[in-house]
Structure 1
Amino acid sequence: MNTYSGRYPFGYWHVIVWWSDERIIRVSFSRNPDVTDGDIPAVIRLYLNGKNRNLSMLKSSATEDGHPYCGIYRIVKEIPYGETMTYGEVAKKAGTNARVVGTAMKRNPTPLIIPCHRVVAKSGTGGFTPSVEIKEALLRMEGVKI
C-alpha cells in the first residue's frame, strides 16, 4: 500500500493530509509551513477554496469497524455541508452522551473528511483542536452563521 502526504494553506494554517490509494489516514493543522512537502488530493484543495461541497467520496480509517468511535464518526460524516448538529443531537443518535461525542471530535484523525467542525455546542461554537479559529473559518466558508 502506497502512502502519500502533502499540505495546503488555509488562512494562517496549513492542512496536512496523509492518505493511501484506498483512504484518508490522517488530517491535521499546523502553522508551520515546512511541515511536509507535496500536494493534497484535489477534492480537498477544492473544498478548502470553497469550490467543492462534497467530500463524502473520501474514506476515513476512523469510520471502519473496530475504531472506538466509528459509530459517532459515521453520524458526523452524514452532516450536510453548511449544516450543523449539536453534541447532544449527535449523542442522541449514537446512543451515548455529549461528553463522549466531544471526546470523539477531539480525537478525530480525519477532520474535514469526518466534518467535526459541523458539531457545535448548544450555546455556541464549541471547541476545535488545535484552534477554534479553524472551526469558525470552516463554518463561515460553508455559510453557517456563527
Structure 2
Amino acid sequence: METMSGSCRLGLWHVHVYWNGDIVSRIRFSRTGIEGSVPLLIRQYCAGKPIDLGGIFSVAMQGETPYSRIYRAVREIPYGKTATYGEIARHVGTSPRVVGQAMARNPTPLVIPCHRVVAATGIGGFSPDIGIKELLLEMEKKGRKVLLKPSP
C-alpha cells in the first residue's frame, strides 16, 4: 500500500499528514496546505470534535527504544488532560530532559499528543509555534467539558 498525504485546517495552520492505512508516518504544521486526503479521525479532531485518536498509530511507537517507550506513555494521557515532563520521565524511568528531547523529535504530533506534556512551571515548548500548543490545549479543554456533560 502506498503512503498517502494531505492536509486539513487547524485554526490558522494546516496539518500535513503522511499515512498508510491506520499508521501515520509524519505530521507537520504549515501555513500552507497540500492536496490529498487526511484520515477522518484526524480531520474531526482538527475541527474541534472531542475525538479519541486511539485507532490511529504512529511509526514512532514501534520497537523498544527509549523514545518509543516515552511516546507510548504520552499516548496514554487522556484527551483534555496534561502530564509534566517529570511525570512521564518517572513513568518510563528516564529524565525530564530526555522526555523533552523526545517531544521535540516527535514525528507525529496529535497521534502522539506531545502538546499534552507540559513543564512543571508552565506550558513548555512546541515547534513550530507555541501558539499551536495553546490552541490544542484550549480546544481539548472545551471538548472535555462536552464529554463530561451529563446527558438529559
Preserved CA contact (<8 Å) 1:29 1:130: yes
Preserved CA contact (<8 Å) 1:120 1:126: yes
Aligned pairs (5 A) from 1:130-141: 130-141=128-139
Structure 2: runs of 5 or more not aligned = 143-152
Of the candidates 94, 100, 103, which is equivalent to residue 101 of structure 2? Answer: 103
Helix, strand or coil at the partner of 1:27: strand
Give the corresponding residue for 1:23: 23
Aligned pairs (5 A) from 1:1-146: 1-33=1-33, 36-143=34-141
Preserved CA contact (<8 Å) 2:9 2:47: no
Structure 1's 93 and 66: CA in aligned 2 closer, same or farther, altered over 3 A?
closer
Work out the number of aligned pairs and report it: 142
Paired with 2:36 and 2:66, the residues of 1 have a C-alpha distance of 31
Give the corresponding residue for 2:148: none
- Cα distance, 1:95 vs structure 2: 0.4
Structure 1: runs of 5 or more not aligned = none
- Cα distance, 1:22 vs structure 2: 4.3
- Write the letter of the residue equivalent to 1:83: K
- Write the letter of the residue equivalent to 2:25: I
User: By percentage of residues, which structure has more helix?
Assistant: 2
- Cα displacement string for residues 55-94 of structure 1 (whole angstroms, at most 9, x for unaligned residues): 0111110000055510000000010000000000000101
- Write the letter of the residue equivalent to 1:59: F
Give me the TM-score of the superposition, normalised by structure 2: 0.89
Q: Alignment RMSD, CA only?
A: 1.3
- Cα distance, 1:49 vs structure 2: 1.3
